[in-house]
C-alpha cells in the first residue's frame, strides 16, 4: 500500500491525503485508490 503511494507521488503532485481501500469480491481483489491531485 505505502509503496504504491510512494511511486505515484514521485510522478504526480499530490494534495491532501490519498485513500487506498482494498475491495474484495469473492476471489477477486481490487485496489480502490482515491488521490487528490494539485490543480494545474
Residue with cell 490543480: 39
Q: Determine contact, residues 8/15, Cβ cutoff 8 Å.
A: no
Rounded to whole angstroms, the Cα distance separating 7 from 5 reads 5
What length is written for the chain?
40
Residue with cell 499530490: 14
Q: Could you report the average pLDDT of every consecutive run of 10 residues in the chain (40 residues)?
A: 80 85 94 84
Rounded to whole angstroms, the Cα distance separating 29 from 9 reads 23
Residue 40's pLDDT is 66
Residue 36's pLDDT is 87
Amino acid at each position: 500500500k505505502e509503496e504504491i503511494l510512494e511511486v505515484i507521488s514521485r510522478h504526480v503532485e499530490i494534495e491532501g491525503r490519498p485513500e487506498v481501500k482494498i475491495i474484495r469480491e469473492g476471489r477477486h481483489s481490487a485496489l480502490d485508490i482515491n488521490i487528490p491531485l494539485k490543480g494545474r
